[in-house]
Structure 1
Amino acid sequence: MNQLPDEPRLRLRIVFGPDEMMGPGKAELLERIAATGSIAAAGRQMGMSYKRAWMLVETLNAMFREPLVTSTRGGPGGGGAALTGAGDAVLRLYRDVTAKAATAGAAELATLQAMLRDISDGK
């Protein structure tokens, strides 16, 4: 049975260029790297391969003037990853933009939600 969410949510993707964008997946990856101290652990938590997580980090690091994530190679002492100051700033700014967009469009989102048909009966 499908149920409508209590409130609509925005999933905002900011497109800077043909191959340069920041969206909810990259933001979540950055948040999880900050929380776990590991690109591999962040990727696992999101259900993505280590290779995919690394590719996204490389993309993010290449997109901005300063790298967003620093990492140290694993081994006997273990490796790790952390957000740089730029990484913290980009994540915060992305979250600020999405929060402001949701606030600014709250009335329209509520109206759109009210216009949806009831799909809770499985139709």
Structure 2
Amino acid sequence: MRFRFKVWSEIDNRPLMGPGRYRLLSSLQQTGSINAAATEVGISYRRAWAQIREMEELLGHPLVVANRGGTDGGGTRLTAEAVKLIKQYEKLSRKMDRAVSASGAMLTE
């Protein structure tokens, strides 16, 4: 038997970061494209932008910098704050995973 959990953070009872938004930002970091990231996580481009805007509103600072087309073809990159948010989420998830695994092992002995 394995115990599972989901970690998310909230600000003023509004969701900031959970598994879905984590996957969105991580995919965006890898692809450099909101459209590609949205497709990868299975949501629409519009929904991806809405989630990013909501996170930015809650935090009070931008998480992405979008560059429109041109010779380089445009793209989107994460701000340092977004990278920090991803790392904090990963760190908390790892800690919680270890704690839940240890607790689960004790319960199944």
- Do these two structures clear the TM 0.5 threshold for a shared fold by scoring above it? yes
1:84-99 residue pairs with structure 2 within 5 A?
84-99=79-94
TM-score of the aligned structures, taking structure 2 as reference length: 0.84
Do residues 42 (structure 1) and 37 (structure 2) align?
A: yes
Higher relative contact order (CA 8 A, sep 6+): 1
Structure 2: gaps spanning 5 or more residues: none
CA RMSD of aligned residues (A): 2.2
How high is the TM-score relative to the length of structure 1? 0.76
The 2-side partners of 1:63 and 1:20 are apart by 9
* Counterpart among 39, 57, 60 of residue 55 in structure 2: 60
Shift of 1:17: 1.7
Structure 1 gaps, min length 5: 115-123
Structure 2 equivalent of residue 106 of structure 1: 101
In the alignment, is residue 81 of structure 1 matched against residue 79 of structure 2? Answer: no
Structure 1 runs (4+) deviating above 6 angstroms are none
The CA deviation string for residues 54-111 of structure 1, in whole angstroms up to 9 with x for no partner, is 1111112212132111112346753211111101001100111111111123222335
Counterpart residue identity of residue 47, structure 2: R
Percent identity (aligned): 33
Aligned partners of 2:75 and 2:48: how far apart in 1?
14
Residue 22 of structure 2 is aligned to residue 27 of structure 1: yes
Distance 1:110 1:27 in 2: 27
Number of residue-to-residue matches in the alignment? 109
**Higher mean C-alpha deviation, range 17-26 or range 68-77:** 68-77
Checking the alignment, whether the CA contact within 8 Å between 1:10 and 1:98 is kept in structure 2 is no
Greater Rg over alpha carbons, structure: 1
